[in-house]
Chain A
């Protein structure tokens, strides 16, 4: 039995395993009140009576916040957003208000706003809910942001595969223009800003903000070196530019509605507001769920919200923040000290779902894509699958990523086709280490972290491939 191998190699008793997967969750469920979803961004999205037309949005109070914001000074909006503490939802979790402050306003060049709607991180499907079901929310958030940063022109860079989404947005923008929410003299104010949709052509790297900017300029999306090309100083057309994620921009509207201070009370300090978590993999009810930051743990998400694992299965691993995040092993213990000094000692289920929790556990909440893997998953196959993705998506500009990622892919592919060698595990680790921290953009880390974590945490599975090249599970391709 697989669990047995696990336990034997990791010195964890079977009794303990039993407790983790059954008793504990049962006790959990009866003894503890299950946290409820708090839908702010997705409040109306799944309401059967709600459509993505402007009429629906207006009936729910849409564009009121834009109206209110236009009466404020731009800096006042920036101040509220700063106070709200809202962190970027695109992956890196950088505070949006701070990012806006970095804008180079002295250059005299036009300022641009770009909404990053390239949503391509494997395991992530939140932005599309907004785009397809509530596009006006995004437009309102963007127009408030554009006014706050005094953008001359705003763009939505949308991934190629969202054909329908691009159409919906096009229509929504023309509706908004008709009503004066965007374009010339917005709501009869002095402020004008047009909103342009640009469709990608199907490349993950277009989600990286400087790659995105190059692509928007009509070039190959080769990410830029930083320094000197920080978007807030030398962004689109070498002008100061703000790039924010769809969900981040939607939050701006709600910050204006509640006020920065009130918004900051949602969630936890440094982890404010709600987040949309996208749960995929082997759970009974995969899907997207919006919760206040830190309102629940990873265990509660899996067992209470997503209905747990399929009968007879046990948890093997979780990737908490999209495929780029380091994998967490089901039987790991996570101990240490948070920034504020509080000590923690967590099992995988205890990790709070916010920004800092997965980070403290040595991974990250990234794009909010939680990928759950039960004991039927061949971790080496999963690794091979992830490597195939990154090898295909590397832009090829810088040496370590270009060569390293394809090399890793070749190794994992070979391992999975029955030609594993014992030294492959160490080789994979070494290659990943030679990539991490040495590339132009964070794709290098995004590609190295999975390998580093899979190989170091599931080393025996890799070694076993060399010993038993024809493992029956290697037939399965589960992610």
Chain B
């Protein structure tokens, strides 16, 4: 007997077992909630349902009702009689309803899957040995589960174009395409750039761009991610690495305040690609193309790889000692960065306390694309607010710092990666001021600096950012930093203890989180760093609700709902 479910859930019978599932879900998702995989290709939870691959065929029945009275028809044993649909139905387009019976493991279902697999393979080139998708290919996976293991196809396979340039970043192998239309639906529905379509008919159908168009929008590489096979490939990643060698690390995109969840794939200390990681609160399964190239900065020419004093390479200890002398009993100004992690900004605030420094910070702003590139081009502006480093909404320059400098109020500046000279600070105002520069890459300011302390990129350290919707999200270290360098947090805690030997601030993330949550009225209260590793945590941002945040409505972001 089917028991009544909770209000917003229904009870269905899945392969003989009654289970409760949220109402409105389709059978692919509902079954997955209970550990049953219904294999599928064309269905994608964040796209419209096409129902074309037919891999998700299952058997389905609903309780029979008497036509006249509308009453449930019962079996002899009193259980409701199930009217099975005579033909298999597709799970992806079938929504659950109370009392529905579903068979996902019957002979008919298995036979359907075997049939579909065989059909998908008859004209498939099977170039797995040279195919980028190998190792993460749904066709390979389901062929293992439902393939015959031998071929009944003795005819000639269809021939199609093998390397079509769809756009600057995407290359198509049409022979591998299983025509699931995911890429087309993504372009229409998410990227809102309708450029892909099929031409020709039947088995000769071919994916292509519309005449005169190309797949060049800033989301084009998502089509590569959602392509269940190796048809759409990233022109950059193509033929570079076998995916099974890659180590995957959970991280957050630093491109803007959208905070897309990403996976960093690396091998032997080198990042090979960045792909989006599904988070239905933040970025669904998408990210920008531009965000995917950020790992290239790790090995950029202007990367700072050794500490220096007045332009000459020194040991880290020597550089720290020199820096210490520059702010001991001096009037210090600290220029923080919205690109630093929440934890770094917190330690930096503590450093400011210890040195009684004045705090400055600027924002970096651009156009909002309404999806995942937000107008705030830093990952952690809200982190600057929450950590207590900033108490005003940052402007797009440092003219306030310039004024302070002109008045001669500051002897030493500690700059966190920013370039003062493109922030409305005149070179002239800087004369007579010592600069201690902490950053990953050289810029005009680092060149002026007396002391340069190289720091690590987001790929080389761990921490957290607070995104545009006040979601705190952790990023984890994917690769080691350049030899001899230490994490930013370590540098900061060393600097603090050099000024204030009493300080017990440790560079350990767990301990920083304990310290942060102890701050009075902190919205971080009750959260630990390990919570963030479980997933996104939203915090109460109401304290800042009147700030002039620049982000517009976008995917999963409603500026009107700044507060929790």
Contact = CB atoms under 8 A, between A and B. Distances in A.
Contact of B54 (A203, A391, A400, A427): A400
Given A399-B55, A402-B179, A414 B155 contact: yes
Contacts of B240: none
B203 interface: yes
Interface stretch (A161-169, A258-266, A272-280, A403-411): A403-411
A399 B123 CA distance: 11
A393 B153 CA distance: 21
A399 B52 contact: yes
Contacts of A414: 155
B123 A403 contact: yes
A225 B116 contact: no
A11 to B, nearest CB: 32
Contacts of B179: 396-397, 399, 402
Nearest to B57: A438
Given A403-B119, A403-B120, A395 B54 contact: no
A393 B203 CA distance: 10
A427 B152 contact: yes
B198 A402 contact: no
Interface in B84-130: 87-88, 90, 93-94, 112, 115-116, 118-120, 122-123
Nearest to A406: B203
A323 to B, nearest CB: 16
Given A399-B52, A414-B155, A438 B115 contact: yes
B200 interface: yes
A312 interface: no
Given A220-B197, A391-B202, A395-B202, A400 B119 contact: yes
A407 B153 contact: yes
A233 to B, nearest CB: 15
A440 B51 CA distance: 7
A440 B52 contact: yes
Contacts, number: 94
Contacts of B156: 410
Nearest to B49: A225
A437 B153 contact: no
Contacts of A402: 119, 179, 202-203, 205
B170 interface: no
B554 interface: no
A399 B116 contact: yes
Q: For A228, A396, A399, which residue has the most chain B Cβ atoms within 10 angstroms? A: A399
Given A391-B202, A438-B57, A438-B87, A399 B119 contact: yes
A397 B179 CA distance: 7
B361 to A, nearest CB: 50
A464 B353 CA distance: 96
Contacts of A222: 52
Nearest to A220: B198
A220 B208 CA distance: 14
Contact of A406 (B118, B198, B202): B202
B53 interface: yes
Nearest to A390: B202
Given A410-B156, A434-B115, A438-B112, A396 B54 contact: no
A440 B54 CA distance: 8
Nearest to B153: A407
Nearest to B55: A399
Interface in B43-68: 49-55, 57
Given A396-B179, A398-B52, A399-B54, A404 B202 contact: no
Contacts of A392: 201-202
A118 B501 CA distance: 88
A400 B179 CA distance: 12
A368 to B, nearest CB: 26
A439 B57 CA distance: 10
B245 interface: no
Contacts of B50: 225
A124 interface: no
A225 B93 CA distance: 8
A450 B507 CA distance: 75
Interface string B20-39: 00000000000000000000
A394 interface: yes
Contact of B155 (A225, A227, A407): A407
A396 B198 contact: yes
A225 B90 contact: yes
Interface string A437-460: 111100000000000000000000
Contact of B88 (A398, A438, A440): A438
Nearest to A404: B119
Contacts of B237: none
Contacts of A403: 119-120, 122-123, 203
Contacts of B204: 396
A475 B90 CA distance: 43
Nearest to A436: B87
B178 interface: yes
Given A225-B90, A427-B152, A437-B87, A398 B53 contact: yes
Given A225-B51, A227-B93, A438-B87, A407 B122 contact: yes
Nearest to B93: A225
Nearest to A421: B154
A360 to B, nearest CB: 19
Given A392-B202, A402-B202, A427-B152, A434 B52 contact: no
Contacts of A427: 152
Interface string B262-280: 0000000000000000000
A411 B116 CA distance: 18
A394 B116 contact: no
A297 to B, nearest CB: 30
Contact of A393 (B52, B57, B87, B202): B202
Contacts of A406: 123, 158, 202-203
Contacts of B178: 399
Contacts of A395: 201-202
A410 B53 CA distance: 22
A191 B155 CA distance: 59
A445 to B, nearest CB: 10
Contacts of A438: 54, 57, 87-88, 112, 115-116
B201 A393 contact: yes
A225 B51 CA distance: 7
A220 B205 CA distance: 12
Given A228-B93, A391-B203, A437-B88, A400 B116 contact: yes
A318 to B, nearest CB: 27
A405 B202 contact: yes
Nearest to B89: A227
Contacts of B52: 222, 397-399, 440
A358 to B, nearest CB: 21
26 contacts: A220-B198, A222-B52, A225-B50, A392-B202, A393-B201, A394-B202, A396-B198, A398-B54, A399-B116, A399-B119, A400-B119, A402-B205, A403-B203, A405-B202, A405-B203, A406-B158, A406-B203, A407-B122, A407-B155, A410-B155, A411-B155, A427-B152, A438-B87, A438-B88, A438-B116, A440-B54
Given A225-B90, A406-B123, 8 more contacts: A399-B119, A406-B203, A411-B155, A434-B115, A438-B54, A438-B87, A438-B116, A440-B54
The 3 closest A-B pairs by CB, nearest first: A434-B115, A396-B205, A403-B119
